Copies of this chain bind each other. A is one copy, B any other.
């Protein structure tokens, strides 16, 4: 239990809050933009958290015994960065670089650039899903009394080492904090963002999992960007809702440091339930010109000198904050660690050439095997594990399996949270339903998250279920994410190898799988590198190149074989790595055959066809004036993709209706190479 001997009415907390407010005003004034009023409302809350409760070693931010702090109201960076200054993690010069080009103090907090930030925020309503996922990972995967987790300071056996101590005459830290207990996740949220469904998806998740290591602090300042929030200062509206979701709740005056302190102590004492503290605050608190006024969101205070004077003027000497030390953690071996140096392909399932296996099943078998070889792999399901292939993993590694139910935003948030601790998450649902989490994936990319996403039931080939279940936009969504990798295997062996391969990548890696059975075309020893491709048919006389991936590889092979019989040899490239795409192989094929025909079970926009086309464009402005595009004459491109709105039909009918089956490919090639006469023969 933490030591509670400090005096909660200590004026140090008020003084710290005052300094945080002044720094928030100063940095946003220097920047000429930013959100000081949203910072002023939460300054007392964060002063008490920083000064009395947060267990965090700013010199060792990865310490597994650290608490974590998530600013869901990511625009309140003037406050967050003022806190960093208060603990000495940044200096005043850096604080004044806020929002300037090149500064790591961006308008919204950014992981990696700032070692104390776990997640990119700024799209509201994401902090709680991330925090809930993180609290789950810390409580359930890392078992705080034992393991240190894969990303923490493995081997670190204590936390009471050196801590920053300032030269100031005063210290706001409690003097004898214990290193016992569990590390907590603190989420600071606005009230307006509680309108996001994702918040309640997460509230359900956290309540269900009884995550008592999670504390949500709602800065209910009553004013959104445009005007008053839905419930204003009706704090009961929020407590009633969180109570209904199984939370412990408390409503307080968010400017009463004693009440805040009591609420935090109470949260730390609450077992079996997450805590939501709803704090009534004033937006712009302490600066009369903007306090509790509409129209003052997202801009510097109008008269900073008056504001700072109203806040009591710049302090002559500053409060030195020493945060509580991290919880003492003893690193213990993680499940599977003993196998961590095993060949990652060891134990992967293999399949016989000619066998028919859905790639979603191969994914499932491979992931279960990978989970045995690597103790850092976890799997996250959206209540469709029997369809996506996660079931074998769930059965073999239940301690590393998370069922998120039908909640794709929480699915992705849980994965992002787990990767922040060093786990390698594979999160899977139908490809179509991953669109539900697009904004979370977008923010994950901004947050430099490393995770594996898997979308099953890609394309029209799912058949009778119809368009609502078809992933037809997923390649576009994942390709557009910065730093992403997009893989789309066509057979079971290729799938298995790519499942293992993607574990070691960076950024968001996406694997697209197919519902129906496809024949195995590769041997079990074939290698598949990310960024590569496979040449499945080729000859000197090839008159065109078919570029396919996934299900369409098999249609392309059928078409190529029929065309060859008709005297029209064509090349077939399996572009299983859609991003990065194998530019060299495509250029070579273009040079050799003059024409590329792309075939994809996806909308025409943003998928394979676009990826191939981009290879033949110059994509960077050259630094010097040296001339020439350099990629030679672009080839002719023909694109087959899903251009209509499908209905229900059998898988082969779907491919035919979309014009992406073997017959359509054959017709397209004939059309390009002028094979009209032969077409009559080939029928």
A326: B residues at CB distance < 8 A: none
In the complex, the answer to whether B467 meets A103 with C-beta atoms within 8 Å is no
Q: Does A6 contact B (CB under 8 A)?
A: no
Q: Does A450 contact B (CB under 8 A)?
A: no
Choose, from A330-338, A343-351, A626-634, the stretch at the interface. Answer: A626-634
> Could you tell me the distance between the alpha carbons of A417 and B405 in the complex, rounded to whole angstroms?
27
> Could you tell me the distance between the alpha carbons of A443 and B680 in the complex, rounded to whole angstroms?
41
> Which residues 381-437 in A have Cβ within 8 Å of B in the complex?
381, 383-387, 391, 403-410, 432-433, 435-436
Q: Does A192 contact B (CB under 8 A)?
A: yes
Q: Does A375 contact B (CB under 8 A)?
A: no
In the complex, the answer to whether A468 meets B647 with C-beta atoms within 8 Å is no
In the complex, the answer to whether A120 meets B671 with C-beta atoms within 8 Å is no
A609: B residues at CB distance < 8 A: 614, 617
Q: Does A473 contact B (CB under 8 A)?
A: yes
In the complex, the answer to whether A225 meets B387 with C-beta atoms within 8 Å is yes
In the complex, the answer to whether B198 meets A197 with C-beta atoms within 8 Å is yes
Q: Quick one: which of B31, B619, B641 contacts A643, CB cutoff 8 A? A: B619
A100: B residues at CB distance < 8 A: 648-649
Choose, from A47-55, A241-249, A275-283, the stretch at the interface. Answer: A241-249
Choose, from A160-168, A257-265, A309-317, A600-608, the stretch at the interface. Answer: A600-608
Q: Does A675 contact B (CB under 8 A)?
A: yes
Q: Return the chain B residue nearest A650 by Cβ.
A: B101
A625 to chain B, nearest CB (A): 3
> Could you tell me the distance between the alpha carbons of A641 and B480 in the complex, rounded to whole angstroms?
12
Q: Return the chain B residue nearest A656 by Cβ.
A: B101
Contacts A195-B383, A244-B243, A406-B193 given; does A613 touch B617 at CB 8 Å? yes
**Copies of this chain, count:** 2
In the complex, the answer to whether B624 meets A604 with C-beta atoms within 8 Å is no
In the complex, the answer to whether A610 meets B606 with C-beta atoms within 8 Å is yes
A33: B residues at CB distance < 8 A: 463-465
> Which residues 633-683 in A have Cβ within 8 Å of B in the complex?
633-641, 643-645, 647-650, 653, 657, 659, 664-665, 667-668, 670-680
What 0/1 readout, one digit per residue, does chain A (186-208) give for beta carbons within 8 Å of chain B? 00000011011111111010001
Q: Does A618 contact B (CB under 8 A)?
A: yes
A612 to chain B, nearest CB (A): 9
Q: Does A592 contact B (CB under 8 A)?
A: no
Contacts A226-B383, A617-B609 given; does A668 touch B435 at CB 8 Å? no
Q: Return the chain B residue nearest A606 by Cβ.
A: B606
A1: B residues at CB distance < 8 A: none
A245: B residues at CB distance < 8 A: 241
> Which residues 50-105 in A have Cβ within 8 Å of B in the complex?
74, 99-105
Q: Return the chain B residue nearest A469 by Cβ.
A: B122
Q: Return the chain B residue nearest A406 by Cβ.
A: B195
A671 to chain B, nearest CB (A): 4
> Could you tell me the distance between the alpha carbons of A438 and B433 in the complex, rounded to whole angstroms?
9
A628: B residues at CB distance < 8 A: 671-672, 674
Q: Does A117 contact B (CB under 8 A)?
A: no
A647 to chain B, nearest CB (A): 5
Q: In this complex, which of A226, A387, A465, A665 has the most chain B Cβ atoms within 10 angstroms of its Cβ?
A: A226
A641 to chain B, nearest CB (A): 8
A208: B residues at CB distance < 8 A: 230
A629: B residues at CB distance < 8 A: 595, 636, 638, 672
Q: Return the chain B residue nearest A129 by Cβ.
A: B197
Q: Does A110 contact B (CB under 8 A)?
A: yes
In the complex, the answer to whether B480 meets A124 with C-beta atoms within 8 Å is no
> Which residues 581-627 in A have Cβ within 8 Å of B in the complex?
595, 603-606, 609-611, 613-614, 616-627
> Could you tell me the distance between the alpha carbons of A616 and B391 in the complex, rounded to whole angstroms?
45
In the complex, the answer to whether B405 meets A107 with C-beta atoms within 8 Å is no
Contacts A626-B676, A634-B637, A638-B629 given; does A606 touch B604 at CB 8 Å? no
> Which residues 191-242 in A have Cβ within 8 Å of B in the complex?
192-193, 195-202, 204, 208, 224-226, 229-230, 240-241
A665 to chain B, nearest CB (A): 8
In the complex, the answer to whether A625 meets B670 with C-beta atoms within 8 Å is yes
A8: B residues at CB distance < 8 A: none
What 0/1 readout, one digit per residue, does chain A (115-134) give for beta carbons within 8 Å of chain B? 00000111111000000000
A435: B residues at CB distance < 8 A: 438-439, 442
A105: B residues at CB distance < 8 A: 648
In the complex, the answer to whether A680 meets B625 with C-beta atoms within 8 Å is yes
A4 to chain B, nearest CB (A): 32
A196: B residues at CB distance < 8 A: 197, 201, 406-408, 436
> Could you tell me the distance between the alpha carbons of A583 and B597 in the complex, rounded to whole angstroms?
20
> Could you tell me the distance between the alpha carbons of A431 and B405 in the complex, rounded to whole angstroms?
29
A interface vs B, CB < 8 Å?
Answer: 31-34, 74, 99-108, 110, 113, 120-125, 192-193, 195-202, 204, 208, 224-226, 229-230, 240-241, 243-245, 381, 383-387, 391, 403-410, 432-433, 435-436, 438-439, 442-443, 445-446, 448, 463-469, 472-473, 476-477, 479-483, 579, 595, 603-606, 609-611, 613-614, 616-629, 631, 633-641, 643-645, 647-650, 653, 657, 659, 664-665, 667-668, 670-680
Question: Could you write out 21 A-B pairs with CB less than 8 Å apart?
Answer: A99-B648, A101-B648, A122-B466, A122-B468, A125-B406, A226-B387, A435-B439, A435-B442, A448-B645, A476-B476, A476-B605, A479-B605, A479-B606, A610-B614, A623-B667, A625-B674, A625-B676, A625-B678, A627-B673, A628-B674, A634-B634
